[in-house]
């Protein structure tokens, strides 16, 4: 019997039924987003910047503001990873360029159509509030102890984008 978890695509029908998650999630990336994209497949993010960046080793850390991610910690073999899955079709756009914050190269990214997410009463946060929340979450990650990475690359890497038609 294998202890390897099934690929996230196999769990998608279950994940789609979970409640929507609103907040800031993190993903390590080889570079920042140059413009808007639409995710072609599900991708993993974490509530913890340290986890998503594999202890801040990713070249760029994306702070993604979402209202429709799915928090799957209860289903995870590693709940300490605080995983939030972004679904295929999720539109993302850079809200800032790539820059330094707290010694970390990062970019703030927002979900496209974020104010139109079904079933979510919250408005898109003001930029000043958003910057403060991102800064606070980043500081928490920087101050946390080193995290044992159980699945290298799970929370980092490029986001597969749908081809533009």
Provide the 10 A C-beta neighbour count for residue 10.
10
Q: How many residues does the chain have?
A: 165
- Is a pLDDT exceeding 80 seen at residue 116? no
- Is a pLDDT exceeding 90 seen at residue 1? no
CATH number given to 8-115+124-140:
3.90.176.10
pLDDT confidence bin for 131, thresholds 50/70/90: confident
Q: Which burial class, exposed, middle or buried, applies to 106 when counting CB atoms under 10 A from its CB (0-12, 13-18, 19+)?
A: buried
pLDDT digits (tens, 9 = 90+) for 39-88: 999 999 999 999 999 999 999 999 999 989 999 988 888 899 999 999 99
Give percent of the chain with pLDDT exceeding 90: 58
Q: State the DSSP H helix or E strand holding residue 26, giving kind and residue range, or none if neither.
A: strand 21-29
Task: State the pLDDT at residue 165.
Answer: 57
For residue 161, how many C-alpha atoms fall within 13 Å in the half-sphere facing its CB?
A: 13
Contact 25, 69 (CB under 8 A): yes
Task: State the pLDDT at residue 122.
Answer: 44
């Amino acid at each position: 019997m294998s202890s390897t978890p099934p690929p996230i695509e196999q769990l998608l029908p279950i994940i789609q039924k979970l409640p929507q998650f609103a907040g800031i999630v993190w993903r390590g990336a080889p570079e920042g987003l140059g413009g808007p994209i639409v995710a072609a497949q599900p991708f993993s993010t974490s509530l913890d910047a340290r986890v998503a960046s594999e202890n801040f080793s990713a070249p760029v850390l994306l702070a993604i503001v979402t209202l429709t991610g799915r928090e799957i910690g209860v289903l995870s073999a590693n709940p300490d990873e605080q995983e939030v899955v972004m679904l295929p079709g999720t539109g993302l756009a850079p809200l800032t360029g790539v820059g330094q914050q707290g010694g970390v190269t990062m970019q703030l990214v927002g979900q496209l159509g974020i104010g139109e997410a079904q079933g979510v009463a919250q408005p898109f946060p003001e930029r000043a509030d958003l910057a403060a929340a991102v800064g606070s979450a980043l500081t928490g990650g920087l101050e946390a102890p080193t995290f044992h990475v159980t699945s290298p690359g799970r929370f980092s890497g490029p986001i597969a984008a749908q081809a533009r038609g």
